[in-house]
Amino acid sequence: MTPLPSIVAAILIALVAGPATAQPGQFTMRCESRNYGHNFCASDSRVVSASVIRQRSRAPCILGRTWGWRGNGIWVSDGCEADFAVQSTTPNRPPPSNAGHVVCESHEYRYNFCAVGRVRSAQLVQQRSRAPCIQGRTWGWTRDGIWVDQGCEGVFRLR
């Protein structure tokens, strides 16, 4: 049996040392479904797997139903908000800042609405698709989100 002082000392050393550092190619990122809509949180590196570290929403975060990942980031819907552990192919590369920005994608050249909450204006800051993103034609905004169509995929600055 291990003496109690040894266990206490081990716990104190662990607390002083701090949390374990992420392995190369691992990082954490938060992604949230605003107003129960679909949201995509982009990563600068290729995502090969992800898991929920901490669920922050009351709405459930269920893999494949209300959250998941694909090659370039994490998606959430139906109110899921969580911190995710992400395994990527690029070591020690931090996730992009999502402050004031949202990625919205037209999948298979279909109309998509990305509900993001209150929007006063929006600006395309980075086109990610080969298909053109033309304001009023293949993308636009309403008071509560961004819409895209005809293959437009981009990063939008919101105000």
Q: What is the pLDDT of residue 92?
A: 38
37 pLDDT above the threshold of 70: yes
Nearest to 90 by CA among 25, 35, 27: 25
Rounded percentage of the chain residues whose pLDDT exceeds 70: 79
Specify burial of residue 153 (Cβ count, 10 A radius: 0-12, 13-18, 19+).
buried
Q: How confident is the model over 103-151, as pLDDT tens digits?
A: 899 988 888 888 777 888 999 999 989 999 999 999 999 888 889 999 9
Q: How many CB atoms lie within 10 A of CB 62?
A: 12
pLDDT tops 70 at residue 24: no
> Scanning the structure block, which residue is given the tokens 């809509």?
37
CA distance 79 to 90: 29
What tokens appear for 92 in the block? 């020690």
Euclidean distance between CA atoms 135 and 86, whole angstroms:
33
Extract the tokens encoding 142: 């309403």
Has this prediction a pTM greater than 0.85? no
